[in-house]
Amino acid sequence: RKEVEQDPGPFNVPEGATVAFNCTYSNSASQSFFWYRQDCRKEPKLLMSVYSSGNEDGRFTAQLNRASQYISLLIRDSKLSDSATYLCVALSGGYNKLIFGAGTRLAVHP
Amino acid sequence: NAGVMQNPRHLVRRRGQEARLRCSPMKGHSHVYWYRQLPEEGLKFMVYLQKENIIDESGMPKERFSAEFPKEGPSILRIQQVVRGDSAAYFCASSPSQDTQYFGPGTRLTVL
């Protein structure tokens, strides 16, 4: 079983739609979680950290449920520029190596 | 402050050759991580280094792969006798401490 699992998608949504991504993790010792964004053939870029209390950054909201070992990302009012692959990431182990999910592809169309 | 730099950006090798990938961390960062991304897959941790020390190499293949981060100069990921399965994007990330990791643009290795 993969340590971080995501639905690969693709999610095809119109501009202005709300879309939600889910992610589960298997290592209960994982300390911190993040969502990264990766554009085609580019490096991953940190989108936001994920906290149990939930956190919001503009149109993006992330949530962590430690009891269920479940992480979510909600994107409201989707823009064409949101089209990318969204990577669910856990910080694991004593040396802070990042454990990446395989990513969920989002395509926003006019 | 320049970001993490990696070179070359693209590298083509024939089977059996050696590949050397270089990573210059951000100024002031002494922690370097290497990750590999196979086509259509997520990034996989390979190795974590500090200056002159390999701290965690649990993600490195047992043979042909090695990494170093010398006192002077960039970190080097070396792949000997490359095979087609080594074709991938190799990303380096640096950190000032065990904290937020900043990624370089990656090196895309193609093995013919």
pLDDT for residue A95: 65
pLDDT for residue A63: 94
- The one-letter code for the residue type at A89 is V
pLDDT for residue B39: 84
- Better-scored residue on pLDDT, A27 or B37: B37
C-alpha A10: how far from its chain's center? 14
Q: Does residue A103 come out as left (phi exceeding 0), alpha (psi in the -120 to 50 range) or beta?
A: left
On whether the CB atoms of residues A85 and A73 are closer than 8 A, the answer is: no
User: What is the H or E stretch that residue B20 is in?
Assistant: strand B19-24
B108 → chain A, closest CA residue:
A41
Other Cβ atoms within 10 Å of A20 Cβ, number:
12
- In angstroms, the separation between the Cα of residue A36 and the nearest Cα of chain B is 11
pLDDT for residue A32: 87
- In angstroms, the separation between the Cα of residue B10 and the nearest Cα of chain A is 11
Q: How many CB pairs under 8 A join A and B?
A: 48
Cα–Cα distance for residue pair B23/B75, rounded to 1 Å:
5
User: Per-10-residue mean pLDDT for chain B, 112 residues long?
Assistant: 90 98 94 92 92 92 95 95 96 86 95 96
Cα–Cα distance for residue pair B76/B65, rounded to 1 Å:
11
pLDDT for residue B1: 57
List pLDDT tens digits, range A47-106.
998 978 889 999 999 999 999 999 999 999 999 999 999 999 998 766 678 999 999 999
